[in-house]
Amino acid sequence: MIERTELYCNGQWFTPSGLDVFDVINPATEEIVGRIPSATPADADRAVAAAAAASDAWGRTSVAERAGYLTRILEGLTSRAEEIACTITGEVGMPFKLSRRIQAGLPVAVLNSYITLLDGYSFEERIGNSLIVREPAGVALCITPWNYPLHQVIAKVAPALAAGCTVVLKPSEVAPLSAFILTEIIHDAGLPAGVFNLITGSGPEIGEHLVRHPDTDLVSFTGSLRAGRRVAELAAAAVKRVTLELGGKSAAVVLDDADLPTAVKSVVGACFINSGQTCNAQTRLLVPESRYNEAATLAVAAVAAYAPGDPLDDKTRLGPLVSAAQRERVRDFIKHGAAEGAGLLAGGAEPPDGLTTGFFVRPTLFGRVTPDMVIAREEIFGPVLSIMTYKDEEDAIQIANSTDYGLAAAVWSGDAERASRVARRLKAGQIDINGGGFNLLAPFGGCKQSGYGRELGRYGLEEFLEIKSIQLKE
């Protein structure tokens, strides 16, 4: 049982002024494994005031100083990686062997990428008689989700601090424990008082209060479409800068000349990672009508390798969903898909055999899904894959682009030029070709209702910078 009773503001841990708390539930055992306090609006105001007071001095520090602090934070994250992985497995349910590599390993890699980036990034450039200066935007409000709790925090906090912004972090109350570990690491790194502040609470109360606050200069938000709309609405009143990374309904377009066994196996893995609780999960598998039967057979075999089980067992590839509410939401989608007439090829809404405790669902595969079906249009956020067919290349592109989302996509083809041509026509922020690997320096973000703005690399850094033009007399 991890019990946190304090929040962090102005370089110190402090006791919140209210008495409300949040229980953290282990999704595999349904046991309470942690408890954190909930801030009050007055506590949130205190954190923003500290960040605002520290903003000018931190914004004027040298790049080398900021890189030095980030390096010390990196050392702390690396030394506590095993603890971080174990903690996140306990609050999210990702299998421990994957948490080591992803939940603990990815934040280290992202932070290291920003330390390296700072060494060569130019915050000033000369254009004609103008000096173009990139300056920190001020107080950055970072609101993060529960599915990759530390990675999403680092993807915002690292570039914010690197840019010279001060930070108020509000992590998800569902999986907040790794944010407290990070805060301890930041404190031990000696970051100046007020530069980083941790506030917990619900989105409707504390999140909205922080977004409305006149002294938060920009908002970086990752979460649901519904919550993102609300953030944008509140921030618009003050014409406040906002970055939104929201949902997705990513299509994997397998062309008729693709290596079908390799493509299908890869797409199933890309759909089921973190039990499907991934914004850029490839949840729509588009195959030529002529190869449907072959693709369905391959997919059924691939899905069978993802039996849900104990996240602490090294053989487990599919853990539970994060909460009872999320489990019921996913089961409802599965029932809806069957009621709409999609062919249930594997899985289903019934509880998995032998798992009477925990928020588990069966890995589910639907065939003959059509674009008008709910399961083809809405983000399910669970291990549910839909196979859809198309007539020709043009039809495949139209189906892939028919969703309201535009976060990610994939293309598979034996012809690299053809794959690139199709990828260029897909409306999404990042597109993998033939299983192309994740690139920490490439921009991550979407279009349409997947949001706007970018994270990672220099693109993520520049979300926290304002551009100033100084005209010089020659």
The catalytic site residues sit at 245, 279
Strand order from edge to edge, sheet including 282-288: 343-346, 364-367, 384-390, 282-288, 250-254, 408-412, 430-433
User: Rounded CA gap, 226 and 233, in Å?
Assistant: 11
H or E segment to which residue 187 belongs: helix 177-188
Tokens in use for 206?
């504390």
Contact 41, 206 (CB under 8 A): yes
Q: Output the CA–CA distances (angstroms, integers) from residue 258 to 110, 272, 300, 426, in the order listed.
A: 32, 21, 19, 18
Q: What are phi and psi of 72, to 5 degrees?
A: -65, -35
Which residues, in sequence order, are bridge partners of residue 127? 130
- Compute the residue count for the chain: 474
DSSP 277-296: --TT-EEEEEEEGGGHHHHH
Within 13 A of 29's CA, how many CA atoms are on the CB side?
12
Of the candidates 77, 70, 155, 122, the residue with the CA atom closest to the CA atom of residue 441 = 155
Contact 253, 422 (CB under 8 A): yes
